Amino acid sequence: MTAVVSFRFRTRAEERLAGREIRIRDPRLQGLVRLDGPALRLEWSGTVSRVEVRGPEVHSEVEQIPITRLEIPVGRLAGFTVGGWLRPRVELRATELETLDGVPTAHLGHVRLWIPRREIATARRLAADVEIAMADEALRLAEEA
């Protein structure tokens, strides 16, 4: 059975000021990561809080973000590491920029998934499984060549 690790994306609230109007957009996204056969599966969802202040009027709403899934073939991974103790995280690096298209906070083929401290051991097991899967894929490709 493969390890499943929960994570959250570290996002920042966006604020816009225009005269007497203030708009705040604050996304909160969390998800799960696991190895599913020859692919790493990321799933995430969350909410976006919006607040608008116009003079004395305040309007707020919370929008549910639908579940998003992304499967990344292990052959397209350049690295999967676990780091940090105070702020534990999984760092995922891709071999190509478009591999992480659509993943919040991804930048230049790299993304950090912030994990709960209690899941560090599980994340390390997952990292070991991913490393083995990456090595198996590299060997398979070498044998085909």
Coil, helix or strand for 2?
coil
* Among 126, 139, 109, 106, CA closest to 41: 126
Give 29-47 as a DSSP string. Answer: EEEEEEEETTEEEEEEEEE
pLDDT > 70: percent of the chain: 99
Give the residue extent of every domain in the chain.
Answer: 4-138
Give 132-145 as a DSSP string. Answer: HHHHHHHHHHHHH-
DSSP state of 101: T
Tallying the residues shown for the chain, one arrives at 145
Could you report the per-residue pLDDT of 66-83, keeping only the tens digit for each?
A: 999 999 999 999 999 999
Could you report the per-residue pLDDT of 4-48, keeping only the tens digit for each?
A: 999 999 999 999 988 888 999 999 999 999 999 899 999 999 999
